Every structure is written in C-alpha cells, then in structure tokens.
Amino acid sequence: MKRILLVGKPNSGKSLLFNQLTGLRQKVANFPGVTVDIKTGKFDGFELVDLPGAYSVHTLSKDEDIAIAQINKAMADDNTALLVCNLDATRLQSSLVFALHMQALARQHNKNVVFALNLYDEMQKIGHAIDTEKLSAELGSPVFAVSARTLFGIAEFKEALKAIAGGHQPVAQPEQLSAAPELIQQKARQMAASYGAKADILLKNQNRIDSFLLHHASGSLMFLLVMFFLFQSIFTFATPLMDGVEAGIAAIAEWSLSLMGEGMAADFIRDALFGGVGAFLVFVPQIMVLTLVIGLLEDSGYLARAALICHRPLSFFGISGRSFVPYLSAHACAIPAIMAARTIESPRKRLITMLTIPLMSCSARLPVYALLVAVFVPSTQYLGGLVSLQGVVFFGLYLFGIVTALCISLLLSRSSALDGKQSDMPFILELPSYRLPHWKPLIRRVVESGKLFIYRAGPIIFAVSVVIWVLGYFPQNGSLQDSYLGMIGHWIDPIFAPLGLDWRYGVAILMSFLAREVFVGALGTLFGIDGADEHIGDLASQLQA
C-alpha cells in the first residue's frame, strides 16, 4: 500500500487534520507534544502516517528523534508517494523552517510535497488573507488553506491529495534549495513577512491575557485557583451525576430482585452484582469530570502557561516545567503520563519525571479516596455550595501525592546514581494561541475515559466480587462470620486490629493489590452479604452505619 507522510511542527493542528482525513479519533490538544508516537490510518486506499511534531531536523527530544528517523527511512522507501507538510498559519515562520527542510529532503529523493496551511480560521478572524497561489509559486509546491477545526477547505484538500498521491496531477518540482540552516531561516523569515499576518496583530489579545496569567503574583494566584477548581470539581460538581447513577443502580436492583424472589441467585445478584460492581460504578462520573476539566485546560491553551509558571519551582526539585503536563496527566493514568514524559528534552529530567509519576494519585485511586472522604468527612459547604469540606480534603489527598513526588524528585536530582544522565538541554516551550475547546472531540474523550475505566477495571472487580461472594456465602448460606471468607478474615485480623480496622477491611485491602479500585467493590460485596440490603449502591451509608 502506498504511503502518505504527514509532518509538521508541534501544536499546529496536525493531529486534528489527520483525524479529519482518516475519520479516526486520535487525541488532540492545544499543547505541544501531544502526539508522542506514530499513528496510521486509511485515506482513500493510501496509508496516512502521522509522525510526532518536530521544530527542526536538528533534534532535541525523543519524539523528534523518532519523527526525523522515520522521515529519512520513509524517503528512501519506494512506497512513499507523498509528503504532506502541515503549516501553522498563525506561526508561519517557525512552520516554514521545518517545512523547507522537509522539502529539500523530499527533493533529494524525488518525492512530491504538498503544504497544508492549517488553522486558517484564525486568519479569517482577524481579516487577513494569505495568497496561497503566490506562496505556492514561491515554494514550488501546492499550498492549500485549510482549517481542520472548522473543516474549511478540507473537501478540496482531500480531492487534491487523491489526485497528487495517485499520480494523476503533476506537481512542479521546486528549485534545488540548499539545506543550510541559515539560508532556510532567511527564506522562512522573508516568506513569513510577505504572506503572514503581523505578529502584533496576531498576539495582541494573547499578550494582554498573558500579562495577567503569567504575572508572578496574579499568575501564581490564578494557577492555584485553577488547580483547586480542578480537584474541587471532582467531588463537588460530580455529585449530581453520582447521585443519578446511584439512584439508577438502586432502581434497577429493586426491579430485578422483585422478579426473582428469594434464593441463592437473588442473593448473588444483590450482593455481588449490585453490591460489588454497582458500588464501583457510582464513582465513574468523577473520572469523566477529571478528564473534562483537564481537556478544557489543554484546549484553551492554559496548560502550556501552567507549565511555564511551574518551571521555576519545579527546577528547584531537579525537573522542569515540561514535567508539569506528565504529572497532571498522571492523575488520570500513569501509563500515558510516562509516555508524555518523552517530550522532555533533558534525559536526566525525563528519567526523574518517569520514576516519580507513579507517586501521583491516578484515577484508580479516585473511587477509594472518594469513598473514604464520603464516610469520614462531613459534607459541610461554604460560599453558597461552591466549596465543600469534602472537596478540600480530597484536594489535600492529591496534594500529598504531589508533594511526595517532588520530594523524591529532589532526592533523585541530588543522587550520584544519575550522574550519567547530566542535563545540558534548555527549557523551551512554545506558548500556543488561546482557543475555544474542540467540543466534539472533547466530549468524545470524556465518554471514552468513562468507558475505558469500566472496561479495564470492571472485569477485575466482577471477578473479585464473585470470588468474595462465594467465599462469604458458603458453607453457611449467607452467614459471613462462619463462612470461608470469615475464617480467612479472622486469621489476618491481628494484622489490621492495631489500626482500628476489622477483618472485612483487611480482606478488601488484600484484594486491592489486584487493582486499587477493587477495594470499593470488595467492601460493597462484603457489606451486602452482611445484611445491609437496604442501602444497595450507597456503600458510604453502610460504612457510616
């Protein structure tokens, strides 16, 4: 299958363009370095390859190494039919620097090049038109003005790609361009001045907002408020959704049990299914709220500012502002957060960040925290219900994980064990334009986060709930104290008794070694077997009782 390569600088709308061309749903965000691996999709009989963003052929980060290595490999491959360079219309000069390098490389291998002038809707907002015909003539390759967000020019661009990649539309070869960096910089600067919008017009609103958000006093205060809002929303704003899920589970349980009557099957459905799995499902809305708020911060462009604000304090702990985004992502899941750390240029800081990411409180711990906070902390509210005491304690639990990770980072940065990973890389971060969120991909990402959490944790929790129910139900048909599980629990009881916990909590803690969120389902099953049938789905009330 013939291949089309899609390349460009980071945070230029490249991944969103890839989604529009292939119909896939790869993650996109208004932050450089979101695409840290190679993605492929089908486009009209061609394989479209989305490579990580790069600023130059002279690489600094691991993802740039991957991109340049793959580009060089693909250029020497006869199956590569076309190279598509994605240009950021709002950052034309920096986009052209990389694009001209790619054009010179493609010319050496006799490959066709097409330029996609993306984010053109931003130009239309300020009333600036770029003469794509003249720009195309000067570059010697076709230039198409598109907006992957508003779909402006996408249909025409697709038709042109089909014709060019299929060899039905000849492309004039550009004049041989020297790959010397200084000559490419000069030409990019000249073309950006001729065709691009003036920087003072493009950055007028951005600079005005940045003067407040990046100020050492107002910016720091705003950052703390945003982070407090993030964790407060997990508990406060997700409560109505959690109440709805809980009511729905209780209603379904009551209806199902009314059709079955008494017996072992009814006990299993009530205690294991609704008591165990149902208690876990109540906390899924909090995962979705966390994903929504982080997505809003990404798409708006604030996340890059937060990384810049955090650079100075984080540098004291031996890491950089680029570690902020992996740390924040770790509150959803540690695995993609560790992958996101690949965008950190310094090998030493990258390694320290990856080693300390698991200390953050990921979403698997969120149901456990939420359950314990709901049981032990009163739901006192302040400021008309905008702030709750439970949310404050919840924020404190997450803050403890962050502080722990920073302390370990400080120790690692001072350790001689990492002397071979000395950092000589500067902290470089391009601040993206402020933009409204891409609502459709964002909502899809929120829904997918809930589904993924259920699919990943649900089968484990169901299996554990079944095992606990069987051990807790037999041999006395529902007498938990005299069951096999009761025997095991009383055997380990001396370990947990000094902590003030009875054997049921000890069993749930042991089960949580399989997966953290199993703790909630295990307690739900245990308390269901123990006769707390009147609170199906409301595990917090059972524990308080």
- What are the DSSP calls for 256-272, one per residue? HHHHH-SSHHHHHIIII
Cβ(186)–Cβ(151) below 8 Å: no
Q: Please, what is the average pLDDT of the chain?
A: 81
Neighbouring C-beta atoms of residue 42, cutoff 10 Å: 13
Neighbouring C-beta atoms of residue 310, cutoff 10 Å: 21
Range of lowest pLDDT (136-150, 177-191, 338-352, 527-541): 527-541
What does DSSP say about strands 381-382 and 387-388: parallel, antiparallel, or unpaired? antiparallel
What distance in Å separates the CA atoms of residue 189 and residue 185, rounded to the nearest whole number? 6
Select from 157, 64, 165 the least CA-distant residue to 111: 165
What distance in Å separates the CA atoms of residue 472 and residue 162, rounded to the nearest whole number? 64
What distance in Å separates the CA atoms of residue 183 and residue 209, rounded to the nearest whole number? 35
Q: Is 537 helix (H, G, I), strand (E, B) or coil?
A: coil
Q: Is 216 helix (H, G, I), strand (E, B) or coil?
A: coil
Helix 218-235 / helix 302-316 crossing angle, nearest 10 deg: 110
Can you tell me which residue has the tokens 């690489």?
59
* Residue 152 tokens, joined: 């402006």
Select from 389, 366, 363, 376 the least CA-distant residue to 540: 376
Q: Is 363 helix (H, G, I), strand (E, B) or coil?
A: coil
Confidence of residue 536 (pLDDT cuts 50, 70, 90): very low
pLDDT computed for residue 156 by the predictor? 92
pLDDT computed for residue 408 by the predictor? 95
Distance in angstroms between the alpha carbons of the first and the last residue of the chain: 65
Please compute, for residue 199, the number of CA atoms within 13 A of its CA located in the half-sphere on the CB side. Answer: 8
Segment 138-178, tens digit of pLDDT: 888 899 999 988 889 999 999 989 888 877 565 655 555 55
pLDDT computed for residue 30 by the predictor? 47
Cβ(402)–Cβ(360) below 8 Å: yes
DSSP string, 290-347: HHHHHHHHHHHTHHHHHHHHHHHHHHHTT--GGGHHHHHHTTT-HHHHHHHGGG-S-H
Confidence of residue 409 (pLDDT cuts 50, 70, 90): very high
Confidence of residue 449 (pLDDT cuts 50, 70, 90): confident
Biggest CA–CA distance in the chain, Å, is: 87
Among 27-41, 149-163, 495-509, name the most confident range: 149-163
* Residue 238 tokens, joined: 């997700």
Q: If DSSP states are collapsed to H, E and C, what string results for 423-477?
A: CCCCCCCCCCCCCCCCHHHHHHHHHHHHHHHHHHHHHHHHHHHHHHHHHHHCCCC
Instruction: Compute φ and ψ for 180, nearest 5 degrees.
Output: -65, 130
Cβ(473)–Cβ(529) below 8 Å: yes
**Residue 475: is the preceding peptide bond cis (ω within 30°)?**
yes
What distance in Å separates the CA atoms of residue 50 and residue 504, rounded to the nearest whole number? 51
pLDDT computed for residue 535 by the predictor? 46
Cβ(179)–Cβ(187) below 8 Å: no
pLDDT computed for residue 114 by the predictor? 93
pLDDT computed for residue 301 by the predictor? 84
Q: Which residues contact 344 (CB under 8 A, 6 or more apart)?
A: 61, 320, 322, 323, 326, 350, 353
pLDDT computed for residue 359 by the predictor? 92
Long-range contacts, 503-510 (Cβ 8 Å, 24+): 504/530, 507/468
What distance in Å separates the CA atoms of residue 239 and residue 282, rounded to the nearest whole number? 10
pLDDT computed for residue 245 by the predictor? 86
Segment 295-308, tens digit of pLDDT: 888 888 888 888 88
Segment 52-108, tens digit of pLDDT: 777 777 776 666 777 788 888 888 888 888 899 999 988 888 889 888 988 888 888
> What separation in angstroms does the CA of 176 have from each of 16, 173, 189?
31, 9, 19
Q: Please, what is the Cα angle at 316 between 325 and 413, to 5 degrees?
A: 85
Rounded percentage of the chain residues whose pLDDT exceeds 70? 87
pLDDT computed for residue 31 by the predictor? 47
Select from 538, 542, 524 the least CA-distant residue to 271: 524
H/E segment holding residue 48: strand 46-50
Cβ(67)–Cβ(83) below 8 Å: no
More confident residue, 181 or 6: 6
Domains of the chain: 3-202 (3.40.50.300), 220-232+302-421 (no CATH), 239-284+439-544 (no CATH)
CA 68 to chain centre: 24
In the predicted model, what is the mean pLDDT of residues 488-497? 88
> What separation in angstroms does the CA of 325 have from each of 221, 337, 518?
19, 8, 28
More confident residue, 516 or 134: 134
What distance in Å separates the CA atoms of residue 31 and residue 26, rounded to the nearest whole number? 14
